[in-house]
Every structure is written in C-alpha cells, then in structure tokens.
Amino acid sequence: MNFSLERMEKTKEIENILASYLPGAKVPQEVILEAMRYNLLAGGKRLRPMLMQETYRMFGASSKVIEPFMTAIEMIHTYSLVHDDLPAMDDDDYRRGRETTHKVYGEDIAILTGDALLNYAFEVAIQAFEIEPSLYERIAQALKILAHKAGIFGMIGGQVIDVSVVGTTITKEELNEIYKLKTGALIEASMSIGAILSGASKEEQDVVLQIATKVGRAFQIQDDILDVTSTKEVLGKPIHSDEKNEKPTYVSMIGLKKAKEEVERLSQEALSLLKNLHVESEYVAGLIQDLIHRKK
C-alpha cells in the first residue's frame, strides 16, 4: 500500500475514534455538543492523534487504551484554535475553509465551546483507567504529560508569550521558545504519550521526546513558510496573516531560504534518531517527511 493511501485510511480510522468519544445526548445544552462536533469533526490533518497512535504502534502495542488519549489531544488542539480565533485574540473569521465558531454560534458560545473541549479532553482521557485498569501507572504518567504540555509550561505558556510579543522585536532564541511551547509541546505530548503507554523503556522515551521536539519545530517553521508561499485556497485560511498581525516569524527573521534549510536539517536529524530506535518505524518516518514537506 502506498503512503498516501495508508495515511488516508489511518485518518479515517482516527476520525471514527474521535466521533465515538463525542457525546450525542439530547439535552437542553445541545448547542454546545453541536459546536464541539462542528470543530472536532471539521477535518484537519489529525497530526497529533496520528503521531500518538503510530508511536504507540511502533513499539508493538495495540490496546484501545491509546484511544481516549488520541481523542483528548485532538480536543485540546481544537479548543486552542477556537479560543485563538476569537475577536480578542487573532480575530479570524475562517478556519479550514469554514466560518469560525464565534461567527456561527456567537462569541459567548465560542468561549464555552473552547472550555467544554478542554474539560472534555480530560473527561475522556480519564476513561483510560476503565479500559486498562492494570496499566494505571502508565496512564497516570500519560495524564501528567498531557496536562503539563497543554498548560502554562506548555501550549498555553507559548500562547501567552505569543500574545505578549505582538509588535515587539524578539530574538531568534525567544522565537524558538515560543514555538517550542506553542506548537512543540502538544507534538511532544503526542509522541511521548504514545511511547509511555506502549511500555517503551525510559531511554526510548527520551529519544522519542527528542524526535518530537525537532518535528514540532520543523512543523512550525513550515507553517511560517506556507504563510508567505501558499494561497488562501490551498490553506483554507488567509495567508500573510503573520504580517497582518505583526507577528515575528522565522521567515521574517532569517529569510525564506534559510528557513527552508532549517526545516530540512531538523527533519533529517529527526529521521536519523528514529532509525536508531531499531523499531518498525517506516510509517512514522513517512509521516514526518510528509508533514515537513507539506503544502498546507
């Protein structure tokens, strides 16, 4: 089977898992369930759950205990987009070619939808204890990573710095720190949780984290590159948005050519670390290459 077809099938599999964890009850607060589905089932690359599941499988594991965590990480990623798009934040009207939550449901429901997705992420992740009670130590460790990487010392921390530096001059090191937290943290959480739940050794977990850090940074630099080289039609969102929002980026800082070289270097380092793990990593390697050379 070729990589593109395999990836499409895996994406479909992930979307079925996500849908199965979404509540479908007929309740007076129905609108929030609808807004959660509107966002969570809106397509997208499913990068984080896919990296998590494939890292988990790469170490030979196959239990359903990974599924609540796959769902949780995608919910956390999704809530951050809902809140990021709000008028008081990036003020974006479109995302993935569709109107953003506050445009469709109003700002109050958009705030509550983000809150609901974040809270439900933990509500779902905790279900792992019921799926594999005997793995409670690994599950508790995975929960800890999830909360830490999503929080003030991870993704939220990155967003706070990002909001604070708009219109100011920052160094390349500071930009690296923003990227490491804002985008990198959830990618690190995805791969780390996959490794932890699979029962990978401490040494293997460390290597996986190093790979994830490189992939996360390369992914974000590629985002900056696409913001100046792609089109609105391909991305499904406005281009040149960083410039519009006066956001410092890798491209504005070191230029397009060097940014591309940096992506190449990081991806080669990640692939070489992956090879040294001596596990069946062909699909994960393909995924990393694809993510880093993506066009949208």
3-class secondary-structure state, position 95: strand
Q: How far from 198 is each of 41, 55, 63, 125, 140, CA to CA, in Å? A: 27, 8, 9, 16, 13
Helix (H) or strand (E) holding 104: helix 101-105
Site string for its own copies, 25-54 (x = CB under 8 A): x-xxx-xxx--x------------------
Site map (CB under 8 A) of its own copies, residues 172-211, x = contact: --x--x---x------------------------------
Residues of span 132-171 touching its own copies by CB under 8 A = 133, 136-137, 140, 143-144, 147-148, 150-153, 156-161, 163-164
CB of 67 to its own copies, least distance (A): 17
Rounded distance, CA 251 to CA 9, Å?
34
Q: Between residues 8 and 27, which has the closer beta carbon with respect to its own copies?
A: 27
d(CA 68, CA 103) in angstroms, rounded, equals: 29
Reported as type and span, the H/E element at residue 174 is: helix 172-179
Residues of this chain, 68-107, that bind its own copies according to CB under 8 A: 79-80, 83, 86, 88-89, 106-107
CB of 198 to its own copies, least distance (A): 20
Residues 236-275 that bind its own copies (CB under 8 A): none
Q: H or E stretch including 98?
A: strand 98-99
* Token couple for 238: 């406005």
CB of 152: closest distance to its own copies in angstroms?
5
Contact between residue 92 and residue 83 where contact means Cβ atoms under 8 Å apart: no
- The whole-angstrom distance between residue 119's C-alpha and the CA centroid of its chain comes to 17
Check the CA dihedral 151-155-157-163 and report its sign: negative
Which residue, 33 or 284, is less far from its own copies as judged by CB?
Answer: 33
Task: Point out which residues bind its own copies (CB under 8 A).
Answer: 23, 25, 27-29, 31-33, 36, 79-80, 83, 86, 88-89, 106-112, 114-116, 118-120, 122-123, 126, 129, 133, 136-137, 140, 143-144, 147-148, 150-153, 156-161, 163-164, 174, 177, 181
